[in-house]
Structure 1
Amino acid sequence: MSKWLCALLLACTCAAQAAPQAAPPDEMDRLLADKGLLSRLEGVSQTVADRTTGLVVNAMGFLGVPYKRGGNSAETGFDCSGFVRAIYEQTVGLLLPRRADQQAAATEVIDRKDLQPGDLVFFNTMRRNFSHVGIYVGDGKFIHSPRSGAQVRVEDMATAYWAKRFNGARRVGTDVDIPAAR
């Protein structure tokens, strides 16, 4: 979605919520339809829903793949950031940076309460921020490649180990300038 369209949507939403004399919802819908924006909005929301569903479904297909330090494929195994990187490249064509801390730096900070399936969740597992990453799948759970001797699996963020180490949440934007390189 273009930055212009995002700004317009935000402005319309804020104006509608803040001003009691703002146009009634049916007039707003009519205005958006007249400008051709209503169909664009519906298409964008469907694209976002498809993308997050595809990410989670694709990620679930790798359950049981073994952990391998520095690994970035199902054939050889994944480490945490290699797993996230592979899922994003295969599903949406974005090649994220290689390390978890780099992935955190390249993505948009979001509040934990705003997590949606497909967002990235980061943890401090090696006494440094953003040393572990997974993909949020919804309902307080995430999928990741945890450690040596383990396999790609889904875990609950509320368990004591993960809750204590939670470092933050990030969203990979639709306008991220990280093209997939082949």
Structure 2
Amino acid sequence: MPIFTLNSTVTRVPAMLTLAAALLLGACGSAPPARMEPSAWPGTPSLSDEQAHDIAIHALGLVGTPYRYGGNTPDTGFDCSGLIGYVYRQRVGTPPPRTVAQLNQWGQPIDANELRTGDLVVFGRGRSPSHAGIYVGEGRFVHAPSSGGTVRLDHLQSRHWSNQNPAFRRP
């Protein structure tokens, strides 16, 4: 059995526990793979219709919250992925990935005609998505758009957003 010193005391730890700890610590320090299978992201919830509705209502309630780069609470403000993370943690208890690129791999891809409340809208041209929001129904989504702005409700068919190469994900 391995021996570790903690606070000047010798502690014996079974080999399996040591292996488990090493695996967990290794996972914490590593970045997620660049490309994961859509359903393979750890902690991807399978949302009920009620949860999806609750997510949309909660997101709508945050409209007007200030934008803040890196922000992830109503008190400090939100960036786009911070808003999504906050809403999902509050309504489902499952934290989504933190970056837009990671959100673009979370859940399952869906077609625009399959959108329901609570789905993710991810924008960006080319390989790197640059922005994300939460679909709330009737062609609209809630998002934290930019520095100096506030969380707001926009339409997917607006001139700006329809040209941003939207993709849709169902967590």
Asked if these proteins are the same fold (TM beyond 0.5), I'd say yes
Aligned-pair CA distance for 1:161: 0.6
CA displacement, residues 127-181 of structure 1 (integer Å, 9 cap, x when unaligned): 7532100000111100000000110110001011100003300000xxxxxxxxx
For 2:162, the equivalent position in structure 1 comes to 163
Aligned-pair CA distance for 1:124: 1.5
For 1:56, the equivalent position in structure 2 comes to 56
Q: Which amino acid aligns with 1:118?
A: G
1:86 alignment partner, SS class: helix
For 2:109, the equivalent position in structure 1 comes to 109
Q: Which amino acid aligns with 1:103?
A: L
CA distance in 1, matches of 2:162, 2:124: 10
CA distance in 1, matches of 2:119, 2:158: 19
Q: What is the number of residues matched between the two proteins? A: 125
Contact 1:129 1:167 in 2 (8 A): no
Where in structure 2 are the equivalents of 1:56-135 lying within 5 Å?
Answer: 56-124=56-124, 129-135=128-134
Contact 1:143 1:153 in 2 (8 A): yes
CA distance in 2, matches of 1:107, 1:81: 15
What percent of counterpart residues are identical?
39
For 2:7, the equivalent position in structure 1 comes to none
CA displacement, residues 12-34 of structure 1 (integer Å, 9 cap, x when unaligned): xxxxxxxxxxxxxxxxxxxxxxx
Hey, which of these two has a bigger chunk of helix by percent?
1
1:137 alignment partner, SS class: strand
When the two chains are superposed, the root-mean-square deviation of aligned CA atoms in Å is 1.5
Gaps of 5+ in 2: 1-46
CA distance in 2, matches of 1:48, 1:105: 20
2:168 alignment partner, SS class: strand
1:65 alignment partner, SS class: coil
Moved over 6 A (4+): none
TM-score (norm 1): 0.65
